[in-house]
Structure 1
């Protein structure tokens, strides 16, 4: 079918606008992180008056001022609002690309990375919704912006029909499952990285790193976040590998052929399985397990970029010009 160039152009403009708004959201989250006050003392107790008004415990009869919302909290709320606008523009760019090409918009690396980043942001909005975890956006948005920049420059491909090998109903099923799991793995990888930094800061409490880490959630909360997101993404990723094998049998007459993409996908799945096993094993639950989780995310990135762009195989559908 012919390509609607007008819709394709609007898709590109929506993508560029989303990137700019994501950048603004990152600035707000960094400002929130910098404005977070590290509390070292307990708050002054406040009692209630007979009428129900707040009364300061150290000054009986004096009505206490209602607590004002901190600057960091206001910046964080603004950041979330801006982030939602960016995500809407982001999703809009994918919908317009799909309408312009009359197909599902994940037929090349540009589109796949775009979808994966959108899923990562959506997953972050769900798991980082509590104010205590919101400061993590100052770190989680950095890899998203890097990936989107690479997608919009190095990986960009004009709107066009997919190659014949991808003209299958398995394309939206297989790729959507893999992109969802990869987007959630992004959140997990960031959480494990920050967890390791938090542990390092605990051992050296008087360093500049420790002063920065004090603004982050507790190290154990970061570890739990990494574990829970991986638990969600791991079976999805495994299902994506299985669905890919079924598609391979329909397209190439075999379920598995140790193609480079298949091989590294299996390796990444094994690494994440090892992480979940280590997370439940005494002596491996903290530092070692976190390193394994990071290794799994590195393997996922290696599979996405190096295998698609450098290694030749049956999955070489990067769509690069």
Structure 2
């Protein structure tokens, strides 16, 4: 009997494992695109939030000038210091709870969009993992998206509790840039791992590295804001901006130090775990591989920062510069070391 058309097509209508994996990878890409849209909206809203803070600072400064003029007859009023100078509440805008309603609303909306974008990005990474049936960081594209997800997730966890809406634009922008470059330059189709990477240490060693990079990134962003805030405290500008609405430079420096400390501890584990994995994979704890060397360079620079920061009488500004040099080394380790042929060794995550 001649088989029916339905019988002939039946095997083709049943999805194979490969087809299912491709569907998951396609859904991961869609979630990634959706995440970028949400991050773009969040970035714009964070910028609008900072604009509202600048307006509040300007309004506070104007009110201070008016109070000084009213009290210029010789009395020390609420708007002047005991020395006759203006007392601006703008410097403690967030700390004293005097943030304007417009600024607060925009910051909260931006934060909600960041939560959504981060959830979509984490979902994209998870779907990619299901598609390839392994930890989804076996090539440079997966490496970049997973790192961006770690940064977004770390910020999302810390932002609401610490009221870090003012920091959002400095975190979301590099995350969005990383995702754009990963799609435009680094994209690699879902596939099998290199034999050397087929180990449970991939999930442990690289997973902890991602978390530490998340803390390093946020600490670096706060560190750069600290340097700007400190400069403006030392030399007050003629026209103030949202910078004057941020926490004091001392508070920013302490926060950056705390985050760098957590990241440094995690990076120490990353270095040790990598050595153990190298022993299992290559027969030696240390091979002078470029990736190993740069991992150690990062650890050394941040160790110098920790030591300098803990030394009595140290210049905190110089210590912060050392921390930022360490973050530059992190960027080099995650980009040039993986992509430039000069650095290619036993580690090769590029997939290119």
Q: Does 1:14 align with 2:14?
A: no
Q: Does 1:316 align with 2:348?
A: yes
Partner Cα distance (1:293, 1:220) in 2: 16
Offset, 1:126: 2.7
Could you tell me which runs of 5 or more consecutive residues in structure 1 were left unpaired when the two chains were aligned: 46-66
Partner of 1:220: 250
Partner Cα distance (2:171, 2:238) in 1: 23
Partner of 2:232: 201
Partner of 2:48: 31
Offset, 1:226: 0.8
* Matched residue count: 297
Offset, 1:16: 0.9
Partner Cα distance (1:288, 1:248) in 2: 35
Give runs of aligned pairs for residues 61-80 of structure 1, distance below 5 A.
70-80=101-111
TM-score of the pair, normalised by structure 2: 0.80
Q: Please say if residues 185 and 229 of structure 1, whose CA atoms lie closer than 8 Å, have aligned partners that are also in contact.
A: yes
Counterpart among 151, 157, 160 of residue 120 in structure 1: 151
Partner of 1:292: 322
Partner Cα distance (1:176, 1:118) in 2: 11
Could you report, residue by residue, the CA deviation over 1:10-39 in whole angstroms, capped at 9, with x for unpaired residues?
100100110110010011111001101124
Partner Cα distance (2:179, 2:24) in 1: 20
Provide the alpha-carbon RMSD of the alignment.
2.1
Partner of 1:304: 334
Could you report, residue by residue, the CA deviation over 1:164-197 in whole angstroms, capped at 9, with x for unpaired residues?
1111111111110111101110001111111111
SS in 1 for 2:318: helix
Bigger Rg, structure 1 or 2 = 2
Would the alpha carbon gap of residues 167 and 132 (structure 1) be closer, same or farther in structure 2, given more than 3 Å must change?
closer
Q: Normalized per residue, which structure has more helix?
A: 2
TM-score of the pair, normalised by structure 1: 0.87
Counterpart among 155, 160, 166 of residue 191 in structure 2: 160
Could you report, residue by residue, the CA deviation over 1:86-110 in whole angstroms, capped at 9, with x for unpaired residues?
1111011011101111111111121
Could you report, residue by residue, the CA deviation over 1:249-282 in whole angstroms, capped at 9, with x for unpaired residues?
1010000011111111101001111111111123
SS in 1 for 2:164: helix
Q: Please say if residues 108 and 165 of structure 2, whose CA atoms lie closer than 8 Å, have aligned partners that are also in contact.
A: no
Partner of 2:93: none
Partner of 1:262: 292
Offset, 1:203: 2.6
Partner Cα distance (2:238, 2:348) in 1: 47
Moved more, 272-281 or 129-138: 129-138
Moved more, 9-18 or 211-220: 211-220
Partner of 2:263: 233
Offset, 1:285: 4.3
Counterpart among 312, 317, 325 of residue 282 in structure 1: 312
SS in 2 for 1:214: helix
Partner of 1:91: 122
Q: Please say if residues 2 and 101 of structure 1, whose CA atoms lie closer than 8 Å, have aligned partners that are also in contact.
A: no
SS in 1 for 2:321: helix
Offset, 1:153: 1.6
Offset, 1:284: 2.7
